Amino acid sequence: MRLAILFSSIALSVMFVGCDQQACSVQGPNAVVRSESNSETSNASELAETKLISVKVTGMMCPHSCLKDIKSLISKTNDVESIELTPQKEADVIDNPVVLVRYRGELHKEATTKAILAAGFENVEYTE
C-alpha cells in the first residue's frame, strides 16, 4: 500500500516539474499536461482555414532554378503550407507556368507580385 502511494506521489511530482500554475493544466485521472502560453498570432495562424490559389508566373521556364526561386519568393511573404507546379507536358520544360499555393491566413498579393517582378519574371496572375 505504501509503495502504491509513493509511486502516485512521484508520478504527480514528475508531471509538474518545470510547470507553473498559469502555463499548465491538469485534466482527468491520467493528469494530462498542456501548455496554454501560445501567442495569439501563432494560434490565429494555426486556426486559419487552409486556402488554395493558382499563381501564373509568366517567364518561369525551368522547373529547377525558376521554380525554386518562385517557391522562395512566395514563401517569404506568406504563411505557405505547400507550393506545387501544375502538370507539364515535358519533365525539364515549363509549358504551363502555374503553381498551386496552399496557404493560411491572407495571401499578400501586392508584396508577392512585387518580389516576383523584382526577381525578373514578366507577369503574375492570381486565380482563386
Query: Could you tell me the CATH number of the domain that includes residue 58?
Result: 3.30.70.100
The gap between the terminal CA atoms of the chain, to the nearest Å, is: 66
For the segment 68-76, the average pLDDT, to the nearest whole number, is 95
* Same domain? 28 vs 51: no
Residues 65 and 14 in one domain: no
The answer on 87 and 58 residing in a single domain is yes
**Chain-wide mean pLDDT for the chain?**
75
Going by pLDDT thresholds of 50, 70 and 90, the confidence category of residue 80 is very high
pLDDT at residue 78, rounded to an integer: 92
**Domain carrying residue 18:** 2-37
The model's pTM = 0.63
Q: What is the share, in percent, of the chain residues with pLDDT greater than 70?
A: 63
Among candidate residues 127, 111, 123, 118, the one with its CA nearest the CA of residue 60: 123
Residue type, 7: F
Provide the strand spans (E) within 1-110: 24-27, 32-35, 50-58, 79-85, 98-104
Check whether residue 72 and residue 88 sit in a common domain: yes
Residue 13 has pLDDT above 80, yes or no: no
Q: Do 61 and 117 share a structural domain?
A: yes
Which phi and psi (to 5°) does residue 79 adopt?
-90, 85
pLDDT band at 43 (very low <50, low <70, confident <90, very high): low
Assess whether pLDDT exceeds 50 at residue 6.
Answer: no
pLDDT digits (tens, 9 = 90+) for 96-114: 999 999 999 999 999 999 9
CB atoms within 10 A of CB 103: 20
Domain total of the chain? 2
Would you state the pLDDT for residue 73? 96
Looking at the structure, tell me whether residues 32 and 71 fall in a common domain: no
